[in-house]
Structure 1
Amino acid sequence: MSQINVVPYIDVMLVLLIIFMVTAPMLMQGVKVDLPEATANPVENQDSEPLIVSIDAQGLLYLNLGNEKQVLELATIRERVAAVLRRNKDKPVLIWGDEAVPYGQVVTVMVELQQAGAPSVGLVTEDPQ
């Protein structure tokens, strides 16, 4: 009786698994901001990649669609987020706000995102260690 030797297939699968585990964190790109530290429960895993609005220390806004290094106006971000949410209502929306940005500016962005159709807007923080 002939049998299939599956050991080479398992080796290939493990190598691919390691490659995906190493490259997956690199796929999350954005603008470098110093996130505030807070202890909070993580959000449950989402199947789709979230929309991320970044606010740097100078208060400039960025969106992780298209050219991520391009500074955008708040009205432009609202239009683009609304267009994406019309196609996918369950897409999570997050804000990466630098800790040097005034709280009022973050709230203004949150309100605009909710008016664009985001049912909830999450704030990203660093875990203090």
Structure 2
Amino acid sequence: MGMGVGSPSGGRDSYRPLSEINVTPLVDVMLVLLIIFMVAAPLMTVGVPVDLPKTTAEPVKPPKDPVVVTLNKDGKLFLLEQEVPADQLDQRLKALAAEDPSRLAYVRADRGLDYGQVIDLMGRIGQSGFSKVSLMAEMPQGGGAQP
């Protein structure tokens, strides 16, 4: 009886190329690169080094949420999602404007309303002390502006 030399099973299977990918060197290189970038990232500062002065001033306060005035299709007014009688709107708007005159005011009006009603409401908001009044609208279904 004869035995094959070079492999335990003997025969031609012993000389097939290894078809597995060895990922260990790849992982080693990636870990080394990760460590290099972790060490180098804090050293990469942008800008000119400057010794900044100390201050005792308070930090700038973030802006308050905007005041939203809604006019529905029935002509009812809502201020910050609470219904407000038309004769009390100016008084409440003046109180809100006195707290922060730079606060934004948004007008939400039903699309079926008369243009004059919306302009009148915007004028009342401006006369109450708000200098920045904007209209709110929905984007069309397809996305951006259409001609």
Please, what TM-score do these two structures have when normalized by structure 1? 0.57
Structure number with greater CO (CA < 8 Å, separation at least 6) is 1
Q: Say yes or no: does 1:63 pair with 2:75.
A: no
1:120 match: 132
Q: Say yes or no: does 1:47 pair with 2:59.
A: no
Cα pair distance change 1:58/1:112, threshold 3 Å: same
Larger Rg: 2
Q: 2:121 aligns with which of 96, 109, 113?
A: 109
Unaligned stretches of 5+ residues in structure 1 = 1-45
1:39 match: none
Whether the 8 Å CA contact 1:74–1:109 is kept in 2: the answer is no
Structure 1 residue 78: deviation in Å?
Answer: 1.2
Q: Find the residue that maps to 2:116 and give its secondary structure.
A: helix
Amino acid at match of 1:99: R
Q: Find the residue that maps to 1:94 and give its secondary structure.
A: strand
Q: Find the residue that maps to 1:122 and give its secondary structure.
A: strand
Structure 1 residue 69: deviation in Å?
Answer: 4.1
Report sequence identity in percent.
26
Please, what TM-score do these two structures have when normalized by structure 2? 0.51
Q: Distance in 1 between matches of 2:110 and 2:90?
A: 20
How many residue pairs get aligned? The number is: 80
